[in-house]
Amino acid sequence: MLSVDNIEVVYNGVIRAVQHVSLKVPDGGVVALLGANGAGKTSVLRAISGLLGMQRGKLIGGTITLDGERIDKLEASQIVKRRLVQVPEGRRIFGSLTVEENLRAGGYSRNDRVALRKTFDQVMTLFPVLAERRKMSAGYLSGGEQQMLAIGRAMMAAPRLLLLDEPSLGLAPVIVQQIRSIITQINSEGTAILVVEQNATMALSVAQHGYIMKTGEIVLDRSAAEMMADDQVKRFYLGLNEAGGRLDFSRLKDKAVRLTERTERKAGV
């Protein structure tokens, strides 16, 4: 359904953030886009949802198509109308508006009041905690609740493809599990999902396919099951130990320094 082909992104006319990136999201599928800080994942999402311009970024090469239609020259609002909706990193909810007002703002691209009412009720069912806090200012919600509100707000546009940027960022493990099951539930109702994550274990546990980015390029393109089964991929690209836990890079670094010192001592340096 979504096809990104050989795209290139620059910021301020000079900073090349993404190059030669191609990926696909099939109808109803879940795809994970993984990689370390600054690898270019968010830039790929912004290119898809037409939000690069707001960041002084530009798509300078490649094409993006949705069901065969070129969307890379469309305005962000026209892309939302095609039901391709991004949940930005850092949530960006409207803190001074109530939960309900935030959700209604997410439905701005739709005119059918009856359909909107129905979606609103579905969002309330999907997120009971938001239903409870419906009249509360969104600024008073916890981090996890704000993430749920951001996803709920995107759901108000009735997306067929949801772009999620780091939904687990800064959340406690128990809340990450809740977000994970919400992603699964949204997908089971037919919405395709492209999820950007640093939490590879979470993302690969919901995705069928994964891409790993490094310094602006895709360095690995495999099924999620293959990625999780490959110890080398886990260690070198995803920073996970055999049990699926995160490697402690600071300790690894200490160990590397100790080894170097020992080698140097032996060599009499």
Q: Given the rule CB under 6 A, which of 30-38, 78-86, 103-111, 176-184 is the region that contacts ligand ATP?
A: 30-38
Distance CA 205, CA 228 (A): 9
In the list 17, 31, 204, 212, the residue contacting ligand ATP (rule: CB under 6 A) is 17
Helix, strand or coil, per DSSP, at residue 37: coil
Helix axes 113-126, 99-106, angle to 10 degrees: 130
Selected from 19, 43, 119, 199, the binder of ligand ATP by CB under 6 A is: 43
Check binding of 39 to ligand ATP (CB under 6 A): yes
Q: Measure the CA–CA gap between 179 and 157, rounded to whole angstroms.
A: 19
Report the alpha-carbon distance of residue 6 to residue 145 in Å, rounded: 36
Q: Which is nearer to ligand ATP, 11 or 94 (CB)?
A: 11
Q: Which residues contact 89 (CB under 8 A, 6 or more apart)?
A: 42, 165, 166, 169, 196
Distances (CA, A) of 196 to 29, 31, 129, 254, 262: 14, 9, 24, 30, 40
Cβ 45 to ligand ATP, closest distance in Å? 8
User: Strand 217-223 to strand 209-214: parallel, antiparallel, or no bridges (unpaired)?
Assistant: antiparallel
Smaller CB distance to ligand ATP: residue 25 or 130? 25
Enter the tokens of residue 113.
């009041």
Contact characters 80-119, ligand ATP, x per CB under 6 A? ---------x------------------------------
The interface mask with ligand ATP, positions 202-241, x = CB under 6 A, is ----------------------------------------
The answer to whether residue 15 forms part of the interface with ligand ATP (CB under 6 A) is: yes
- Shortest Cβ distance from residue 17 to ligand ATP (Å)? 3
Q: State which of residues 2, 25, 32, 42 lies at the interface with ligand ATP (CB under 6 A).
A: 42
Which residues in this chain contact ligand ATP in the complex, by CB under 6 A? Answer: 11-12, 15, 17, 35, 37-43, 55-57, 89
